[in-house]
Structure 1
Amino acid sequence: MTPADLSLTVLHAVRRAVDEGVLAVEVPELVRVERPRAGGRGDYASNVALVLARAADATPRHVAELLAERLLPHPDLDRVEITGPGFLNFTLRPDAQQDLVRAVLLGGQRDGRRDGRPYGHLPPGGAAVQLVHRADVRAAVTADAVRRLLVSQGHPVRVACEDGVDPEWDLLQARTDVAHARGRLATTVAPLPVPYGAAELHRRFGVDAARWGLLSAAAHDHAKLTDELLHQHERNPLFRVRYAHARARRLADNADQLGFRGEPLQAVEAPELTALLGDHPAVLLSAARHRAPDRVARHLEAVADALLAFQHTVLPLGDEKPSVAHRSRLALAEAAGTVLAGGLSLLGISAPDQI
C-alpha cells in the first residue's frame, strides 16, 4: 500500500461514515497522509479527524474513532491507532513493502496488471491547464518541466510565452506550444532569471546538467549553475542521482550473471528507502500542484542517497548462495532505480545505465 493508496482508503472511510449518517460533513477532495511526527506511531499518520471535527460538531477523537472502525478491516492495514487529540496512525501489514515494490515495477498496479502508466502517474481526466512564462531561458525550462509533471498527473497542458518564443530554447528541450497566452485562466511561471542564454548554457553544461542547474533550486532562489554540475563526484547531486540509477542497473546485471533476478518475496530492512519510494506519488502530485519541479529534484537526491547506502547488502558475498533475501533486496533496489529514472525523465534529464 502506497501513501496514495492509503490516502484514498481513508477518503473512502470518510465517505462511508457520511453515507451511513454517523458523520455529517462534506467529503473532502483529498486526505493528507504523511510519516508520523514525534509522538506518533506506525508507518503513516493523518490529521483528517482534526480537520473534519469542527464541521462535524464533534471532538477530533470521536471522529477518529468513527474512521478507525471503518478502516481496521482493510486487508493492508495491521493496526489503526489514535494518538493525541485525534491523530490516526496506520501500521501496514508486513507484506506491504512487497506490494509497494510490485507497484513500482509493474507501473502502479497492485494487482499485477500493466496499464502503461509509470508509478505515481495518474490517468488522463484532470482539468486543462494553461502555463504562461516569461521570455527567459529559466522560465522556459521550468514551464517545460511543470508541463511534464502536470501531464503525469492527468492534466492536458498548453504552454505560452508572454513575449514571443526564442528558438534557442530548443537546445535545452524547452518547447513552448503557442506564441501568446490565450484565455483568462492561466498560471504564470516566473522563477528568478539567470544571466545566460540557452546557447551559452548548452555549450557550457549540455542539456542534462543545464536543466538540473535550472530546476533543482526553488523558483525564488538563484539557479545552481556552477562547474560542479560537470564533476563526477559525490558533492554533485546530479551525479549522485544518475550514479545511483546506474548502480541499480548494474546490480541487476551482476545478479543475472549469478543466476538470480529480483522479486519482492519478503520484507527487507530498509525503512528509509521504502518510505521514500512510498512518498514518490505524493511528491509528483505536490510538485505539479505547486508548479515546483525542485521538489522532485530534492526527492530524487534523497532516494539516491538511501539507495547508495543500501546497495552493499544486495548481492551475495564470497561463497554465499543467492537467497530469497537477496532476490527481495534486488527488487527493492530495482524499484529505486525505476523511481530515479522516472523522476529524471519528468525533469527532462536522461538516466544513463552506465556512468
Structure 2
Amino acid sequence: MTPEDLSTALTACLQDAVDAGEISVAVPAVVKVERPKNREHGDWATNVAMQLGKQAGMAPRDLAALLAERLRRAPGVVGVEIAGPGFLNITLDAAAAGELARTVVQAGADYGRNSALVGHVVNMEFVSANPTGPLHIGHTRWAALGDAISRLLRASGAELTAEYYINDAGHQMDVFAQSVYNRLHGLPVPEGGYPGEYVQDLARQVSTDHPDLRTLTEQAALPVIREAAYVHQMRDIRDTLAAFGVHFDIWFSERQLHSSGAIESAVRRLREQGHIEDRDGAVWLRTTDFGDDKDRVLIRANGEPTYFAADAAYYLSKKDRGFTEKIYLLGADHHGYVGRLKAIAACAGDDPQHNIEVLIGQLISVNGAKLSKRAGNIIELKDLVDWLGADALRYSLARYPADSPITIDPEILTSRTNDNPVFYVQYAHARSKGASRTAEAAGVDRSAFDASLLTHATESDLLARLGEFPSIVAQAAQFREPHRVARHLEVIAGAYHSWYAACRIVPAATDEGAGEITDTNRTRLWLNEATAQVLANGLDLLGVSAPERM
C-alpha cells in the first residue's frame, strides 16, 4: 500500500460517513498522510479529523473515532489509534507495506510520475542570457534549477515548453559588433564595449567566415560582423548548456518581434484594452493601474520601441501560442521586473495571480573560482563544469531553495565522502546496482516475491521513504522547489545504507559452503532494485546521472 493508496482509503471513509448522514463536510480531493517522527506511533499519520472537525460540528477526536472505525476495515490496515487532539496513527501489515517494492520495480522509470498538474499548459522561460558573451556563474543557478523545474512539471502531468529568449536586438548588439570590429583591426575596446579574449576569438572566426572583411568599410563591415559573431556566440551558448544537460524546446529571437510587426500589434491590442495613453509625444502603458510603481513607455517620442515594448509583445506572443501559464525565472538583479511583468499580464486581460509567475533566484559564489582569462572579468559556466563536474554542480544548486544565497565549497563537491551530498546519493545508487550484480552471481533472482517477509525495522523505514517519493515530486513541482527531491533522495540513501548493513540479500556462507537462498533473499532483491529505481528517477529529475559503478 502506497501513501496515495492510504490517502484514497481515508477519502473513501470520509465519503462513506457523509453518504451515511453521519457527518456533513466537503470531502477533500486528497487527504494528506505523513510519516510520524516516532515509529512507535505507527507507519503513517493524518490530522484530517482536526482539519474537518469544526466543519463537521464535532470534536476532532470524535470525528477521528468515526473515521478510525471505518479505516480499520480497509485492506492492509492492521491498526488505527487516536492520539492527542485527534491525530490518527495508522499501522499497515507487512505485506501491504512491502508490496510497494514490487510496485516500484514494475513501474520502472514511471514511478514518481503523477497527475497533480494535468491540464496545465505552461511556458517557462529561463537563462535567456544576452548573445554578446559566454554564459557565466550568474546564469548557472537558473540553468540548473530551470531545467529541474521543467522536468518536475512534466513528471507531474503539465504540458510544459522550456523557452530561451534571445535578446538579439537593440543597442547592445551594435556595441557587440563594434567590439569585434575593433579587435579585428587592432583597436581598443570601444566605450562600454565587451572585453575578454573571447571577442578576439570571435574576430578570428568571423574573418575566417568572411575573408574579404578587412577590405570593407566600417559601415559595411559592422552588419556582417554583427550577424556572424552572433551566430558563433549563440553556438557557444547552446553547446555550453548542452554540456550542462540543459535543453530548450524553443529558442525565441527578439528580432522576430521587431521584424514581424508584433510590437506594433501589441501596442494596438493594449490600446484596445484601454490601458494606453499618449503623453509628451510618447506612447505609455498605464501599468500603475495594476500595481506597478510607475507607468512604462512603450514607444519613445522618436518612434523607437523600448525594451518594455518588446517584453509586452513577447508576453502576448506566449498568450497567443496557447500558454495559459507563463513562468519567468529571473536573476537576483531583476526584482523590479516582477511588478511590471504582472502589470503587462493584467493589461493584456490576464489574471496576474494565475497566468504569470515570476521567480527570482539569489546569487551563488564558488570558493576559489577564478575569473576567466578568455571571458574577462567573469567566471564562465563551462569552466565551473570542467572543474566541478556537471553532476556535482547541478545537484548542489538543486538542493537549496532558489531564494537563498549559496556559497559552494569545491573541496566538498569534489570529495568522495559522505560529506558530499551528490556522492552520497550517487553512491547509494551504485551500491544498489553492485548488490544486484552480486546477487545475480550468487544465484539470487526475483523469481519469488513475498511482501510479508519484509519485516525488519530498516525495511519498513526504507519502504516508507520510497512510498513518499511520488508525493514529494508532486509537491516539488507545485511549489517549484527541486530541493525537496534532492533532500528526499538523501533520506532514501540514508535509509538504504542502514538497510544494506542490517539485511543480507545474498545469504551468508556457512562452513558447508554457500548459504541457502530463500524467498526472503529474493524478496529483498526486489526491495534493493526498487531503491535503485527511485534513486535513478529522482536524480534524473534533477538532471544528474545515476552511475552504476563508482
TM-score calculated relative to the size of structure 1:
0.89
What is the correspondence of 1:80-95 to structure 2 with a 5 Å cutoff?
A: 80-95=80-95
Query: Is 1:267 aligned to 2:454, yes or no?
Result: yes
Equivalent residue of 1:95, what SS? helix
Residues 25 and 55 of structure 2 are in contact (CA less than 8 Å); yes or no, is this contact kept in structure 1? yes
Aligned to 1:110: none
CA RMSD of aligned residues (A): 2.4
Aligned to 2:537: 342
Residues 140 and 174 of structure 1 are in contact (CA less than 8 Å); yes or no, is this contact kept in structure 2? yes
Equivalent residue of 1:240, what SS? helix
Aligned to 1:48: 48
What is the correspondence of 1:289-308 to structure 2 with a 5 Å cutoff?
A: 289-308=478-497
Residue 170 of structure 1: which of 221, 224, 242 is its match? 242
- By percentage of residues, which structure has more helix? 2
Aligned to 1:118: 110
Residue 279 of structure 1 aligns to which amino acid in structure 2? E
Aligned to 1:113: none
Count of matched residue positions in the alignment of Structure 1 and Structure 2: 347
Residue 253 of structure 1: which of 433, 437, 448 is its match? 437
Equivalent residue of 1:90, what SS? strand
Moved more, 300-309 or 44-53: 300-309
CA distance in 1, matches of 2:357, 2:163: 10
Shift of 1:40: 7.2
Residue 346 of structure 1 aligns to which amino acid in structure 2? L
Aligned to 2:417: 233
TM-score calculated relative to the size of structure 2:
0.59
Aligned to 1:199: 382
CA distance in 2, matches of 1:71, 1:77: 7
Residue 267 of structure 1 aligns to which amino acid in structure 2? L
Query: Is 1:352 aligned to 2:547, yes or no?
Result: yes
Residues 215 and 223 of structure 1 are in contact (CA less than 8 Å); yes or no, is this contact kept in structure 2? no
Residue 466 of structure 2: which of 277, 300, 310 is its match? 277
What is the correspondence of 1:84-163 to structure 2 with a 5 Å cutoff?
A: 84-107=84-107, 118-123=110-115, 125-133=118-126, 135=128, 136-160=139-163
Residues 125 and 354 of structure 1: CA distance in aligned 2, closer, same or farther (over 3 Å): same
Residue 128 of structure 1 aligns to which amino acid in structure 2? V
Equivalent residue of 2:41, what SS? coil
Shift of 1:76: 1.4
Give unmatched runs, 5+ long, in structure 2: 129-138, 168-233, 253-313, 320-344, 346-354, 366-378
Shift of 1:117: 5.9
Aligned to 1:24: 24
Give unmatched runs, 5+ long, in structure 1: 108-115
Shift of 1:62: 2.2
Equivalent residue of 1:106, what SS? helix
Shift of 1:134: 5.6
Residue 171 of structure 1 aligns to which amino acid in structure 2? A
Residues 40 and 46 of structure 1: CA distance in aligned 2, closer, same or farther (over 3 Å): farther
Shift of 1:33: 0.4
Pair member with larger Rg: 2
Residues 75 and 340 of structure 1: CA distance in aligned 2, closer, same or farther (over 3 Å): same
Residues 219 and 352 of structure 1: CA distance in aligned 2, closer, same or farther (over 3 Å): same
Residue 215 of structure 1: which of 385, 398, 411 is its match? 398
Shift of 1:349: 0.9
CA distance in 2, matches of 1:128, 1:64: 39
Residue 122 of structure 1 aligns to which amino acid in structure 2? N
Residues 133 and 190 of structure 1 are in contact (CA less than 8 Å); yes or no, is this contact kept in structure 2? no
Shift of 1:280: 1.2
Shift of 1:131: 3.1
Shift of 1:189: 3.3
Residues 120 and 281 of structure 1 are in contact (CA less than 8 Å); yes or no, is this contact kept in structure 2? yes
Equivalent residue of 2:50, what SS? helix
Residue 498 of structure 2 aligns to which amino acid in structure 1? A
Query: Is 1:318 aligned to 2:509, yes or no?
Result: yes
Shift of 1:210: 1.8
CA distance in 1, matches of 2:2, 2:526: 16
Query: Deviations 1:81-132 (Å, cap 9, x if unpaired)?
Result: 222221112111221232111111111xxxxxxxx76222125834223434
Residue 120 of structure 2 aligns to which amino acid in structure 1? A
